[in-house]
Structure 1
Amino acid sequence: MSEEVFRQDLDENKAERPGGPFVIELLFREPAAMPSKERMCAVIEKHVGKTECFCHDGKTAGFAALDYRAEFQDQSVPVQLMVTACTAFDGEEIDDFLRSQMWDCLEERDRILGNCRYRVIATDMLARALPAAKRATLDMDFLEALSELYPDCEAFYFPSSGKLFTAESVRRDETEGTNRFIYFGVNVRFFNVQDSEDMVVDTLGMSTLFLPDLQYHFHGMNPNWVVNHAYNVAAYLLGSGNVIADGETVDGVVDGEMSSALHWSCRYEAALIQPPREVLDINMGECASGTR
């Protein structure tokens, strides 16, 4: 764990915008050519379902995901999947605060961010209108297609959550269903509070799906237990929707496992750790820290 001291930065100008595009950055050591239109159509359709290419000009490739339609007040349109041409990448733009929470790639993190000089950016468009679980499925199927289309990709970076994965770990992952989005698209972060025994665990990435991020401010409990609890609650919210209201409770943790013998109350509060956003704060009872 990093011993570096970071400061809170809750500048409202840096606040999250829920429902924004889900961005996938593919990182490379050498420039990567955009695959042919025919190749991209075949691979994306294999993973995503029926698609229609509406743009492939060497700078941008765009595909309409015909099985995923965004419903608006006066029309229904297919969600779009976009891929850019390869451009320069500077890993130094990813600061120490973001690097400190790249738990899935700690050993390779600095090597990847130092050696990768190029990137391809992929994103969904109009997908904010989809139900959360459906969008999560689409984005992860798109990720699988990208990993096949770009075999020389070194790593995948997800800006909305700050997660970094080696390309090899993405290709060999066997997580199923919407849990794929929780694994790749949601980061459970951990912080020690300076000059105290307090700790903070929170999530980052849920707001892309218009779901609440979670927050735990606590002491006296193994933080790994809290991290596992956060992943479980995040998965529950993705599967069930935003069904936890102010004052309701979730099962707590007893001996490292979620247990209905203990209930922790929930309340929507301002985040303690940047970026500024509303989070679902989970009060851990006798282990809770701070005031609520």
Structure 2
Amino acid sequence: MPWPEGEGGYLIQMLFKEPVAMPDKEKMTAAMEKHIGAVKCFCYDKKTAGFAALEHIAEFKDGKAPVQLMVMGCSKFKGKGFDTFLMSQMWDCQEDRERIFRECRYQVVAADMLAAALPALERANLDADFLEALAELYPTCEAFYFQNCGKLFLAEDVRSHQIEGPDRFIRFGVNVRFFNTKGTEDMLIDTLGMGTLFLPDLQYHFHGMDPNWVVNHAYNAASYILANDNPIQDGETVDGIVNGKMSREIQWKCRYEEALVQPARGVLDIHMGEFAAGQRQESTCN
């Protein structure tokens, strides 16, 4: 049940080898309260469980309502729709991704609703709290797939992380992707998933630099944008990279452009100075 990015829910698919029952209503409520705060279960049966997050209020023109957290009953998972393009960017589960899609035949889907009306930082923390509640409620879950960004994780990696605050959303809800440009030495790195929070994804088109340095820069920049509600304006600069580390000595100019790689969306393109590639960036960012 895909939603358009930035317009619908933050979608979490939990994958299982065997069918799993909906946890007891009381158990689900207790786990939600433990991780999220005050909740009210407004629907519960074998097919659907819904919880109102009473401390997270979405405001609309015609009124206010608490964000809803929905958990669907177990259904069959056929593993379709995961083509070579999507699987090539599942960096966190490279050794296990084919096995997971082969062995996991069942899924439980969870999503937030009405959360698009929340401030980005509040939604990021709520979605991360929701994920931790789900990881506790479904101990037989084999893997988590995050449809908004295309990341796949072994369940044990979700349960054992030591990240705090909104960077949890960056870890699981934002994917830094890597592409080689065929026939050249040019590379492209972008992020996918920031649009869920109505924040810009990032894009780097470059050559001559270790791509791992750029991946780290992208995660740091995404974290900064989320923590500060996107303070970067068109034409402003961000710290560049010197010897693998972000440095104020180098400033890279930013422009809002259309993404070079699907899906179609606006991105914050970071022009990497002497390492920049592509006439498109050079003509718009000089």
If the TM-score is normalised by the length of the shorter chain, which range does it land in? over 0.9
TM-score scaled by length of structure 2:
0.96
Unaligned runs of 5+ in 2: 282-286
Report the equivalent of 1:277: 265
Match of 2:32 among 10, 23, 44: 44
In structure 2, distance between residues paired with 1:16 and 1:219:
32
Distance 2:264 2:131 in 1: 28
Q: 1:222 offset after TM fit, Å?
A: 0.3
Provide, for residues 211-230 of structure 1, a one-character-per-residue CA deviation record: whole Å limited to 9, x for no partner.
00000000000000000000
Equivalent position to 1:264, from 252, 269, 281: 252
The alpha carbon displacement at 1:290 in A equals 0.7
State whether residues 177 and 191 of structure 2, in contact with CA within 8 Å, keep that contact through their aligned partners in structure 1: yes
Structure 2 CA distance for aligned equivalents of residues 145 and 65 of structure 1: 13
> Which deviates the most, 84-93 or 281-290?
84-93
1:4 is matched with none
Residue 128 (structure 1) aligns with: 116
Moved over 2 A (4+): 14-20
Deviations along 1:180-212, one digit per CA (max 9) or x if unpaired, are 000010000000000000000000000000000
Cα contact 2:116–2:197 (8 A) shared by 1: yes
Question: Over residues 231-271 of structure 1, what are the superposed CA-to-partner deviations in whole Å (9 max), with x where a residue is unaligned?
Answer: 00000000001211110000000000000000000001111
Q: 1:203 corresponds to which residue?
A: 191
Deviation at 1:17, TM superposition (A): 3.9
2:238–2:253 contact (8 Å) kept in structure 1: yes
The answer on whether the counterparts of 2:3 and 2:9 sit within 8 Å (CA) in structure 1 is: no
The aligned residue for residue 71 of structure 1 is 59
What residue number does 2:73 align with? 85
Counterpart residue number, 1:216? 204
Residue from 72, 86, 90 that aligns with 1:102: 90
Taking the aligned partners of 1:47 and 1:105, their CA distance within structure 2 comes to 26
Q: Which has the higher contact order (CA 8 A, sep 6+)?
A: 1
Deviates more, 1:69-78 or 1:81-90: 69-78
Segment of structure 1 superposing worse, 170-179 or 89-98: 89-98
Out of 112, 128, 145, the position equivalent to 1:157 is 145
Task: Tell me, yes or no, if the aligned pair for 1:16 and 1:277 is still in contact at 8 Å.
Answer: no
Shift of 1:16: 5.3
- Superposition deviation, residue 15 in structure 1: 11
Shift of the alpha carbon at 1:73?
A: 1.8
Equivalent residue of 1:266, what SS? strand
Give the share of equivalent positions with the same residue, in percent: 63
The answer (yes or no) to whether the contact 1:15–1:275 under 8 Å persists in 2 is no
Q: Distance in 2 between matches of 1:145 and 1:133?
A: 19
Q: Given residue 57 of structure 1, which amino acid in structure 2 is its aligned partner?
A: D
Superposed CA RMSD in Å reads 1.2
Match of 2:284 in 1: none
Match of 1:190 among 175, 178, 182: 178
* 8 A contact 1:155–1:165 mirrored in 2: yes
Distance in 2, matches of 1:20 and 1:76, equals 17
Aligned to 1:279, the other structure's residue is in SS state strand
TM-score, with structure 1 as normaliser: 0.94
Contact kept in structure 2, 1:67 and 1:78, CA below 8 Å: yes
Q: Which residue identity lines up with residue 64 of structure 2 in the other structure? A: S
Query: 5+ unaligned residues in a row in structure 1: which ranges?
Result: 1-13
C-alpha deviation, 1:19, in angstroms: 3.7
- How many residues matched? 279
Contact 1:266 1:280 in 2 (8 A): yes
> Tell me, what secondary structure is at the counterpart of 2:235?
coil
